[in-house]
Amino acid sequence: MQKFVIQGGRRLTGEIRVQGAKNSALPILAAALLCKGESCLENCPRLSDVFAACRILTGLGCRCRIDGETVTVRADPTETAIPEALMQEMRSSIIFLGAALGRMGACTLGYPGGCELGPRPIDLHLAGLRRMGARITEENGCLHCTAPGGLHGARIHLQFPSVGATENLLLAAVTAKGETILTNAAREPEIADLAAYLNRCGACIEGAGCSTVRVQGVGELTGCTYRIMPDRIAAATWLAAAAVTGGELCLRDADAQSLESFLDVLDQMHCRCIRMDDRICIAAARPLRAVRYLKTMPYPGFPTDAQAIVTAPLCIADGTSVVEESIFENRFRHTDALVKMGADIRIAGRAAVIRGVPGLHGAQVCATDLRGGAAMLIAALGAQGETVLTGLQHIDRGYDSPEHVLRSVGAGIRRE
């Protein structure tokens, strides 16, 4: 079992290059399945979730080559089934469904089921695909999906702007017959990135990143070379690490615009954040100031993926902060570990009430999920003494060598 041993209390200073976005790389890898020829995806982060997506492609008969941060996919699928083990390994594997239906007209895959964050329903994905002509049956937790006469365009209104459902329906729509109009679509920047890749491959998508997206189906797509956008949640993680250690960091390859809701909270904490074209610099405040109320919302609201991350600096901020989680049911599992490190946090329904304490101390803690683990890592960097953090398989799903990144800006951290 691997663990991080972290010597806390060291101020982080220097420059970090932000990795490519996991939540963009995964749907783009699924999208590569739709394309004839070769796709060359640059700035693809080296993450266990990305490797799992490549294993899904390989399992479908495609060829995938990983060379540093470049993943090359030659999609000549020969299979239509995604093995159960791969479905469980990465919950977002469901986004392969829309692409598989578009390319092969059929797909059998396991139900992604619940996960660390609570139930993960896919009703919106399935209802939308059915409107486009897919036939979907469920047997023993396995979904059998076909599109006998091919998919056709449709008008689809999403009751909630689900990121995964928007991506799945976009993937299904690009080669469907006729026009698809998605309303109340998710507006996350990763959706615009997916659409930019698809359009470069020959798709005809308008409005991605807005709540109404129009897609004109095209006959076929051809792979291209594409650079994955920077990871806004990884950027938020390093900013929070600077805040908790009283540090000064400059992030390279960071997109300030897509992080505005997070940067605004850091401003409220009295940190000084400088937004530049492809850089964000932060000079942390001492003491940090509590944030009276904060609620996670679909983009452009405060991202649920940054909720746990922001909790760590709020633990040592002056005053009381209230953080409400409105997207997922079970996303406060990291707070027990923070309390073990000396934080004062109470959970009341969907809100966490955080009373700032003067400082945290090291402890033995275990990551419960990806961003919860990141919150523990950030807290440990700001704590006095040593923290031993286990459960690294969660953190490795979303961060490419975080110990190297953090050591390069002065953190005391090693993987054992």
Percentages (nearest 5) of helix, strand, coil residues in the chain: 35, 30, 35
Stretch that binds ligand UD1, among 34-42, 79-87, 122-130, 401-409 (CB under 6 A): 122-130
Rounded CA-CA distance 374/372 in Å is 5
C-alpha torsion sign, points 252, 193, 59, 75 = negative
Q: Minimal distance in Å, beta carbon 45 to ligand UD1?
A: 12
Binding ligand UD1 by CB under 6 A: which of 323, 327, 354, 376? 327
Cβ proximity to ligand UD1: between 121 and 150 the closer is 121
Say which of 44, 62, 64, 115 is annotated catalytic. 115
Determine which residue in the list 12, 26, 40, 201 makes contact with ligand UD1, applying CB under 6 A.
26
125 binds ligand UD1 (CB under 6 A): yes
Under rule CB under 6 A, residue 305 binds ligand UD1: yes
Cα 28 to Cα 1, 40, 48, 298: the distances in Å are 31, 11, 16, 21
Catalytic annotation present for 210: no
Shortest Å, Cβ 247 to ligand UD1: 26
* Contact assessment for residue 351 and residue 313, using Cβ atoms and an 8 Å cutoff: no
Nearest residue to ligand UD1, using CB? 164
- Residue 303: asked if its preceding bond is cis (omega within 30°), the reply is no
- Total of chain residues touching ligand UD1, rule CB under 6 A: 19
Q: State the minimum distance, in angstroms, from the CB of residue 166 to ligand UD1.
A: 8
Measured at the alpha carbon of residue 253, what is the angle toward residues 251 and 255, in degrees to the nearest 5? 90
| Closer residue to ligand UD1 in complex, CB, 162/245 | 162
Torsions phi, psi for 358 (to 5 deg): -65, -30
Nearer to ligand UD1, 125 or 394 (CB): 125
Contact between 93 and ligand UD1 by CB under 6 A: the answer reads no
> According to the binding rule CB under 6 A, does residue 37 interact with ligand UD1?
no
Rounded Cα–Cα distance for residues 20 and 267 (Å): 25
Give the largest Cα separation in the chain, rounded: 65
321, 294 Cβ separation under 8 angstroms: yes
Residues engaged in binding ligand UD1 (CB under 6 A)? 23, 26, 92, 120-125, 160, 162-165, 186, 304-305, 327-328
